[in-house]
Amino acid sequence: MISVIISMLIKGVIIAAVFSVLIIIHELGHFLVARLFGVRVTDFSIGFGRPIFKKKIKKTNFLICVFPLGGYIKMAGDSRVESRGYRDEFFSKSPGARSAIVFAGPLFNYILAFMMLIIIATVGFPVQDAVIGAVKDGSPAQSYGLQPGDEVITVAGGDVQSWSQLQDRIYQAKDSVKMGLIRDGQKIKIDVPVQEQKTTDRLGRDIEVSQIGIMPYGSVIGEVIDQYPAKKAGLKKGDQIIKVNGQKVETWEELANNIQDSKESVLLKVKRKGRTFSLKVPVKKEEAGGVSKEQEHISVIGIRPPVKDKILQVRFPASVLKGAEMLFQTTVLSIKGLWYMITDPSISVRDSVAGPIYISYIISKTAQLGFVALLQLMSLLSIFLCIINLLPIPVFDGGHILFFGIEKIKGKPLSPKIEDTANQIGFFLLIALAIFIFYNDIVKHGSNILKDLKSSFNQEEVNESKSIKNLEKKNEKN
């Protein structure tokens, strides 16, 4: 019990630290650029609530408050009502200067993400090896002699260091794709024709891409997860699944798709050490985790493929370029995801958004995977915080910049009535969105979070019970 409570406290500290870093860096951007333009900042607070530490440096009160989750800054004359026309007030500055101060918050989040990605590239991060796991029957890859175990080193004239790089280059090929392989220590060059096929992109949308029929995994089980039906049914690491519900499977994708569509149980034909047998395994329903409205839950049995990861490390200063590449890719993917969520009716908003509750849960889970994984998640959150804040919605930074832009063009600010009405609408939408996100977190993810919590306590009880039994056995021997 004590170890579970300590673990929860550690997770709580990590969650608070992640949110605080992202928000404080954002506010630091506003603070530094405000001072650059001569705006007096009256308060810079880390956290909210009653101050537990306070120190005045020059004209700014630096505070640490009792709830260390995030922070804020307060600038002199930062609303038209409060402004008295003094030179060091926010609204005494030009629209351009005010826009720069407001823009600095999201910009600092973006810079933070960039710095994190440079660190990740320098330290090293796990990627899936570009080794062929399976070749589809009747595919161009099979016709041209590609085999499971082939290591792909070049595609379309460029080096590849991961499966995602390999896949992306094949997707973009026109008629054929030139590849360099290593097989049994020998280098092989081959030119394989491509076929147009439908697949699902990282945002859950159906797209047409070029493919040659290679997959990263075959149908051999790499891991059987505890507390899942597969473990209880007797499946083992190294078992090869030949058929699912009578359908022949050769790749992990085919295997997973057939299991996911099953209702109550799945009939597997399994090959183990040269022996073939059939096994009926009940399925467990879990959230699909995608953004499509068509399928909210899928069937799983608790098996994973044999992952072939390697650590990709880029030396400084080349890591700066790698960080910039990852920053650009993540930014484009985030903007596309947001755009599709708004414009594509097949994308479920309910499945696409996550609030503080679920994000906290993701942070706690990611932290268990290590420093690099947590840093990757923080960089993603920081990029998304930048993008969301720059949306031209009243009460967001982007909304303020929009108003200042209109003021610059017109030569005078919007009327107080129009600005107040717009801000009230924006505030109302923000509150409505917050309620929806919190409600969605509780309804969609609450049961899974509670199950996880209950599982932690149950596991602790099992461990305590085992410890007591071991002690009893020792005492009996003595």
What is the predicted pLDDT for the residue at 476? 58
Q: Mark whether 164 and 203 lie in a shared domain.
A: yes
> pLDDT (tens digit, 9 = 90+) per residue, 137-190?
888 998 988 988 888 999 888 888 888 888 888 888 888 889 899 988 889 899
What is the predicted pLDDT for the residue at 292? 46
Residue 153 lies in a domain: yes
What is the predicted pLDDT for the residue at 129? 84
Could you identify the residue written with the tokens 């092989």? 188
What is the predicted pLDDT for the residue at 444? 63
What is the predicted pLDDT for the residue at 79? 83
The ranges of the chain with pLDDT < 70 are 1-5, 7, 201-204, 287-296, 346-356, 440-478
> pLDDT (tens digit, 9 = 90+) per residue, 39-69?
999 999 988 888 888 999 988 999 988 877 7
Domain residue limits at 245: 223-291
At which of 215, 231, 255 does a domain end? 215
Residue 43 lies in a domain: no
Report the CATH number at residue 201.
2.30.42.10
Q: Mark whether 139 and 200 lie in a shared domain.
A: yes
At which of 192, 215, 238 does a domain end? 215
At which of 291, 315, 339 does a domain end? 291
What is the predicted pLDDT for the residue at 99? 95
Q: What total of structural domains would you count in the chain?
A: 2
What φ, ψ does residue 399 adopt, rounded to 5°?
Answer: -65, -40
What is the predicted pLDDT for the residue at 160? 87
What is the predicted pLDDT for the residue at 328? 94
What is the predicted pLDDT for the residue at 27? 93
Half-sphere exposure of 249 (CA within 13 A, CB side): 27
Residue 403 lies in a domain: no
Residue 327 lies in a domain: no
> pLDDT (tens digit, 9 = 90+) per residue, 101-136?
999 999 999 999 999 999 999 998 888 888 888 888
Residue 262 lies in a domain: yes
